[in-house]
Amino acid sequence: MGRESLAQAARWRAAGRPLQVAVNLSASDLMDVRLPDDVAALLDDSGVPPELLQLEITENTIMTDPVRVLDVLARLSELGLAFSLDDFGTGYSSLSYLKRLPVQELKIDRSFVMHMDSDSNDAAIVRSTVDLARSLGLRVVAEGVENAPTWDQLAAFGCDLAQGYHLSRPLPAAALDAWLASRPASSVVRQGGR
């Protein structure tokens, strides 16, 4: 789980650019009661502080075995890791899980974001999700930002971060270094999927 991501985070940190890396966790990862110990060992081996590792989970992975998954997440949270609830709005979990999860971030699924500039229902869902997340003290990331009107609309809604082809295609680490060097220090963009 994430050994190469942590190695890259260690290289960036050593170069004076402490970038947070995100690693997706599968249902089988979250069912493994040894996962917290394994992650702790990986962090120790890499020398990366826990705040530079974010674990991404989906609503559907939680539903596999909510009791067991919540226990594993609680133990991972004790390590000081950040969590993101990915693809929010596409799963089948109830909002009761949202308040029990140790997440600091919601990622709004691209299926709502991609057409929000032309579909008022999608725009309403995104705006409501941003408002909900803000009310819960969570950071919000919009996935699938493909054009400037969507980018502008998200900014008006108060969305914190965005990812998508309008900003950049996914990049290997070396290309990301060059891309970041060409950007003003004040611009914040999350490297990742579309």
Q: Mean pLDDT, the chain, as a whole number?
A: 88
Question: Residue 139 sits in a domain of what CATH number?
Answer: 3.20.20.450
Domain count of the fold of the chain: 2
Q: Is residue 182 part of a domain?
A: yes
Residue 194 pLDDT exceeds 50: no
Q: Does one domain contain both 178 and 141?
A: yes
Is the model more confident about 64 or about 158?
158
- For residue 178, what are the β-bridge partners? none
Q: Does one domain contain both 115 and 160?
A: yes
Residue 193 confidence (pLDDT): 40
Residue 131 pLDDT exceeds 60: yes
Residue 185 confidence (pLDDT): 61
Q: Does one domain contain both 74 and 134?
A: no
Domain termination site, one of 47, 80, 113: 80
Q: Does one domain contain both 76 and 108?
A: no
Between vectors from CA 131 to CA 129 and to CA 134, what angle results, nearest 5°?
A: 110
Q: Is residue 89 part of a domain?
A: no
Residue that the structure tokens 């997706």 belong to:
24
For 63, which DSSP code? T
CA–CA distance, 29 with 47 (Å, rounded to integer): 22
Q: Does one domain contain both 64 and 109?
A: no
Q: What is the pLDDT of residues 52-108, one digit of tens each?
A: 999 999 888 888 888 899 899 999 999 999 899 988 877 665 677 777 888 999 999
Which range of residues forms the domain containing residue 61?
A: 1-80
Q: What is the pLDDT of residues 102-126, one digit of tens each?
A: 899 999 999 999 999 999 999 999 9
Q: What percent of the chain has pLDDT over 70?
A: 92
Is the model more confident about 134 or about 96?
134
Domain termination site, one of 46, 80, 114: 80
Q: Does one domain contain both 75 and 127?
A: no
Q: Does one domain contain both 26 and 70?
A: yes
CB atoms near residue 27 (< 10 Å): 16
Q: Is residue 87 part of a domain?
A: no
Q: Is residue 140 part of a domain?
A: yes
Q: Is residue 109 part of a domain?
A: yes
Q: What is the pLDDT of residues 17-38, one digit of tens each?
A: 899 999 999 989 999 999 999 9
Domain termination site, one of 48, 80, 112: 80
Residue 190 confidence (pLDDT): 45
Mean pLDDT, rounded, for 5-24: 93
- Cα separations in angstroms, 3 against 7, 53, 74, 79, 185: 6, 11, 21, 17, 28
